[in-house]
């Protein structure tokens, strides 16, 4: 029997969600460096292939085996389309046209789509007024934290903005679709490995046919290091956490990570790059915290009284 989906996450699950936001927050930084020298499909192909190879070695060391059933692999390919191939290509292409700050704001709409999709497609993640209000508050916090400057060029490339929004819808759908692996009894690390192998199978011929990467100049060492970090840290390790959280906390709670990613990115910039926090950053983080508490159910717990 599969584990129950938690409506209120426990401290361990919140810790995993924060860790995942840090790993994925770094992906915007890595992509920003890589797109200067490599085309989008090539970046995505290297990202998923290197991440898959890393996890194949990891599961062998850990003593896991990949499943052989056709049904499981069909699910892996479906998950790879929704959670890797389509959104990765859309986001990377979008970041060649719009600023990363605007891309982060558009990406943070994922929980808005997730609460609606989960409401219609699941039996135990129904939309509540508190949840929807919390998502709106959190989204407002993301916009406040990143600041109005990110929206200055919001009319510059509508197609690129729609591409990032489409990626957010894909992520929301993948959260619901991915719940089936827990019911199948597939361990999170094996699910991540199978999904990334399927993504590699789909992306390799596509990138070779469209971009012919063998004709490109050798990238610089910073780009090589960035793609390596994108694959191993922001993909392989991140997806182990992703499927672990999804198994017990559910799709809606999992997609809250997109509200935390800008927080992680800005705090990393402060701690690592010496950037300074402004009043809008503190306001944005406060709103995000308030929104997360509302979605989690703790903010309105006093109204329900003791159990």
Between residues 237 and 96, which one has the greater pLDDT? 237
Q: What confidence category does residue 103 fall into, taking pLDDT thresholds of 50, 70 and 90?
A: confident
Structure tokens at 13: 């699950």
What does the pLDDT read at residue 155? 53
Give residue 301's pLDDT: 53
Of 18, 60, 21, 59, the residue nearest 192 (C-alpha)? 59
Does some domain include residue 296?
A: no
Q: Residue 108: its pLDDT value, please? A: 79
Name the pTM for this structure. Answer: 0.79
DSSP class of residue 178? Answer: T
HSE-up of 280 (CA within 13 Å, CB side)?
12
Of 142, 97, 119, residue with least CA distance to 257: 142
Residue 302 within a domain? no
What percent of the chain lies above the pLDDT cut of 70? 86
Kindly state whether residue 69 falls inside one of the protein's structural domains: yes
Q: What per-residue confidence (pLDDT) applies to 254? A: 80
Give 262 or 244, the one with higher predicted confidence.
244
Mean pLDDT for the chain overall: 83
54 domain-assigned: yes
Q: In a 3-state reduction of DSSP, which class is residue 210?
A: helix
Residue 229's pLDDT is 94
42 within domain boundaries: yes
User: CA torsion 144→27→246→74, rounded to 10°?
Assistant: 130
Cα torsion 76, 236, 261, 92: sign: negative
> How far is residue 279's CA from residue 245's CA, in Å, rounded to a whole number?
32
Number of domains into which the chain is organized: 1
Residue 294 lies in a domain: no
The 10s digit of each residue's pLDDT in 134-182 is 888 888 887 777 666 655 555 557 788 889 889 989 999 998 898 899 8
In degrees to the nearest 10, what's the CA dihedral of 296, 113, 261, 5? 40
Domain of 206, in residue numbers = 11-135+153-262
Q: Could you identify the residue written with the tokens 């929704």?
A: 82
Residue 303 inside a domain? The answer is no
More confident: 289 or 45: 45
Whole-number pLDDT of residue 25: 79
List, for residues 215-236, the tens digit of each pLDDT value: 999 999 999 999 999 999 999 9
Task: Indicate whether 225 belongs to any domain.
Answer: yes
| Each residue's pLDDT tens digit, 41-78 | 999 999 999 999 999 999 999 999 999 899 999 999 99
What is the C-alpha to C-alpha distance for residues 215 and 36, in angstroms, rounded to an integer?
A: 16
Give the C-alpha separation, 238 to 23, whole Å. 6
d(CA 6, CA 250): 7
Query: What local confidence, expressed as pLDDT, does residue 269 receive?
Result: 64
- Residue 134, phi then psi, degrees to nearest 5: -65, -40
| pLDDT of amino acid 274 | 65
Q: Residue 94: pLDDT band by 50, 70, 90 thresholds?
A: confident
- Cβ atoms of 306 and 273 within 8 Å: the answer is no
Which two tokens mark 139?
């989204």
Instruction: Using pLDDT thresholds of 50, 70 and 90, give the confidence band for residue 204.
Output: very high
121/124: higher pLDDT: 121
Could you report the per-residue pLDDT of 260-284, keeping only the tens digit for each?
877 777 776 667 656 666 777 788 7
Whether 214 shows a pLDDT value over 80: the answer reads yes
Q: What is the pLDDT of residue 101?
A: 66
């Amino acid at each position: 029997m599969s584990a129950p989906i938690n409506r209120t996450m426990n401290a361990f699950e919140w810790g995993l969600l924060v860790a995942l936001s840090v790993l994925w927050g770094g992906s915007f930084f890595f992509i920003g460096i890589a797109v200067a020298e490599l085309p989008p499909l090539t970046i995505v192909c290297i990202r998923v292939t290197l991440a898959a190879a890393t996890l194949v070695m990891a599961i062998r060391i850990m003593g896991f085996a990949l499943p052989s059933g056709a049904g499981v692999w069909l699910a892996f390919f479906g998950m790879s389309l929704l959670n890797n191939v389509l959104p990765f290509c859309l986001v990377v292409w979008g970041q060649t046209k719009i600023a990363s700050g605007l891309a982060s704001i558009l990406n943070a709409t994922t929980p808005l789509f997730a609460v609606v999709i989960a409401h219609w497609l699941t039996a135990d993640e129904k939309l509540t007024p508190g949840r929807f209000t919390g998502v709106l508050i959190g989204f407002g916090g993301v916009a406040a934290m990143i600041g109005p400057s990110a929206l200055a060029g919001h009319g510059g490339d509508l197609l690129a903005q729609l591409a990032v929004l489409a990626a957010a819808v894909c992520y929301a759908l993948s959260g619901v679709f991915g719940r089936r692996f827990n019911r199948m009894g597939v361990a999170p690390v094996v699910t991540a490995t199978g999904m990334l192998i399927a993504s590699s199978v789909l992306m390799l011929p596509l990138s070779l046919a469209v971009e012919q990467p063998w004709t490109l100049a050798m990238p610089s060492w910073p780009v090589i290091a960035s793609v390596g970090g994108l694959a191993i840290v922001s993909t392989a390790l991140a997806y182990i956490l992703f499927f672990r959280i999804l198994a017990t906390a559910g799709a809606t709670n999992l997609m809250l990570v997109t509200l935390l990613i800008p927080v992680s990115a800005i705090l990393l910039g402060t701690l690592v790059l010496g950037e300074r926090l402004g009043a809008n950053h503190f306001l944005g983080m406060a709103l995000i915290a308030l929104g997360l508490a509302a979605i989690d159910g703790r903010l309105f717990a006093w109204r329900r009284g003791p159990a």
